[in-house]
A = this chain, B = another copy of it.
Amino acid sequence: MAILGILCTTGPYQFQNIDTVIEITKSALKKNHEVQIFLLMDGIYNPKMDQKAKEVYLKKKPVDEFLKELIDKGAKIVCCGISLITRGLDINGSDYPEGVIIGGLEELAEIIENSDKFISL
């Protein structure tokens, strides 16, 4: 049982990265590892609530719901506050489901400190 840190800098749908983050996190949690994710740059779009990916052509579960489930299963998800206010999202978290943490780079520093392994996607 160890801690996995993940950095993701891309948003949902346009790039596959967050799908891979979700896959890896699900598997890691199942194996009783701890997972701490830092979302930077466009990465902060991923937990945006009300994504309607199920209703449109994609017909799949939206990224925000996946991330909410990961949080419920114990994953820590931190969004970079600077990145999100730059892009017009609410610093108070009204765009995000409960449990998403809004933080600074000191949180990234802390995740790196906590992690036994770290990957960038």
Interface 9-mer from A6-14, A17-25, A26-34, A111-119: A6-14
A82 vs B57: C-alpha distance when bound (angstroms): 9
- Min CB gap A17→B, angstroms: 13
Which chain B positions have C-beta within 8 A of A68?
A: none
- Is residue A101 contacting chain B, with contact meaning CB distance below 8 A? no
Q: Is the CB of B48 within 8 A of A85?
A: no
Which chain B positions have C-beta within 8 A of A53?
A: 86
Interface size on A, residues (CB 8 A): 27
Q: Which of A22-68 contact B (CB under 8 A)?
A: 41-42, 45, 48-53, 55-58, 62, 64
Within the oligomer, what is the number of copies of this chain? 2
- Is residue A87 contacting chain B, with contact meaning CB distance below 8 A? yes
Can you give 26 A-B contacts (C-beta < 8 A)?
A11-B11, A11-B42, A11-B45, A11-B87, A12-B87, A13-B86, A13-B87, A14-B42, A45-B45, A48-B87, A48-B88, A48-B89, A49-B88, A51-B85, A51-B86, A51-B87, A51-B88, A52-B85, A52-B86, A52-B88, A55-B85, A58-B86, A62-B86, A62-B88, A64-B88, A88-B95
Q: Is the CB of B42 within 8 A of A56?
A: no
